[in-house]
Amino acid sequence: MRVRVATTALGITAALLAVPACSTDTTGTKPDTAHSARTGKPADTVQKAAVLSSAALETRLLNESDLGSGYLRKPERPAQHDDVTVIGCPALSELGGDAATGGTLTFPRKAKATFTYGGSSSEVSEELYSDSANKLSHDIGRIFDAMTGCPSYQVVAGGTPIDMASQRLTPPQGLGDEQWSQLLTFSTGGRSTVVKQTAIRDGSLLLIVSGSPALVDRHLDKALTKATATS
């Protein structure tokens, strides 16, 4: 039961992150402009950061040897298409609560890997995306704002109700150009699962690490180091 609940939790997290983002920028500050102010580099230099292909992103994912003993990569399952309905969180509903369960962000250039640890229900998932700095920042920022803007709500996926609680966390500082982090609690069938999710944007690359809080904290730095390596 715990294994099934943990797997469902990670799948629903990905599903909610797959909702389409509005194209209107409500932040007031363009990400490349903010990055230029911090780094001293011209805005057009930031905007033209190389966009990586899905094949290139795949080589930058962590593997079992990077993680250490006890980790086993899960085979990718075919995408599910259960209807997802969000109740009690208008911001998420406006973004589109009918995203497919188990989906990923809609950026075309992407790669993903999920690992179990120690034969238990503990999991850690890494997702990599590449696009323009503006698009990455706007889309992921809008989705995190929507998810953490509702402290509690309910998701109905394929007829199964899941009670959700969200908490915005202070993201790790000094990593990449922008950071987001949240703690999600999924409750269904009398069981609760806590999932931590941290996203780091570094130029034209977006890294998202999700799963058991201790595993996310343990592997975030090495995931970013490998994802942003230039050789």
pTM: 0.79
Q: Which domains does the chain have, with CATH numbers?
A: 2-227 (3.40.1000.70)
Order of strands across the sheet that contains 84-87: 71-73, 110-117, 123-130, 205-211, 191-202, 178-188, 160-168, 152-157, 84-87
Residues across the chain:
231
Residues 6+ apart with CB under 8 A from 224: 175, 176, 200, 202, 207
Using one digit for the tens of pLDDT, what is the confidence trace for 169-215?
999 999 999 999 999 999 988 999 999 999 999 999 999 999 999 99
Using one digit for the tens of pLDDT, what is the confidence trace for 27-52?
333 444 444 443 344 444 344 568 99
- Inter-residue contact 101 to 185 (CB < 8 Å): no
Predicted confidence (pLDDT) at residue 142 exceeds the cutoff of 80: yes
Distance CA 18, CA 214 (A): 24
H/E element, 82: none
